[in-house]
């Protein structure tokens, strides 16, 4: 299996898990609960993941034209669940379309913008984005199990 095929499968798997997690909330308002030491709501983490992937995969690698409003990812509240699910579905399509259009050679090329302390390869950035998605997906899972009462 090629690296791009593996990345495509991982992003697809985890974005579909994100849809499932958001769907599993029994009480839609619980998506927006902040309690004790839990700093971010599931809804805001969902918006953050959508913004992140649409920016760093869709806009930077797929020329989608997406414009990120990162502050809104954490300040918006009470976005309807159906809208969150549609945003995830749209992101699945953008990520899939972009990764399908890339060649394996592109992975070893320099990522178009500097995101960290220095330049990285496209492969490094895609691996970072996949682990970032998994990290926040786990947070959403715990948020749901702790606060969806």
Q: Which CATH superfamily is domain 3-147 in?
A: dinb family like domain (1.20.120.450)
* Residue 39 to residue 21: CA distance in whole angstroms: 18
The sign of the CA dihedral 89, 79, 72, 67 is: positive
CA pair distance 37, 59, nearest whole angstrom = 33
DSSP H helical segments within the chain, as ranges? 3-24, 42-53, 60-62, 70-75, 81-101, 104-107, 122-147
List, for residues 54-74, the tens digit of each pLDDT value. Answer: 999 999 999 999 999 999 999
Going from N- to C-terminal start, the domains of the chain cover 3-147
Are 10 and 57 a contacting pair, CB within 8 Å? no
Q: Which residues contact 64 (CB under 8 A, 6 or more apart)?
A: 54, 58, 94, 98
pLDDT digits (tens, 9 = 90+) for 100-127: 999 999 999 999 999 999 999 999 999 9
Reported pTM:
0.96
């Amino acid at each position: 299996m090629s690296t791009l095929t593996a990345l495509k499968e991982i992003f697809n798997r985890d974005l579909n898990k994100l849809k499932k997690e958001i769907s599993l909330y029994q009480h839609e308002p619980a998506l927006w609960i902040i309690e004790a030491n839990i700093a971010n709501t599931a809804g805001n983490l969902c918006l953050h993941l959508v913004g992140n992937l649409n920016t760093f995969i869709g806009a930077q690698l797929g020329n989608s034209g997406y414009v990120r409003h990162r502050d809104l990812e954490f300040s918006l509240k009470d976005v309807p669940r159906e809208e969150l699910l549609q945003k995830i579905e749209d992101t699945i399509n953008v990520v899939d379309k972009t990764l399908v259009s890339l060649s394996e050679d592109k992975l070893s090329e320099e990522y178009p913008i500097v995101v960290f302390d220095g330049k990285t390869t496209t492969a490094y950035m895609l691996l970072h984005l996949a682990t970032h998605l998994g990290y926040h997906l786990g947070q959403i899972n715990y948020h749901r199990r702790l606060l969806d009462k």
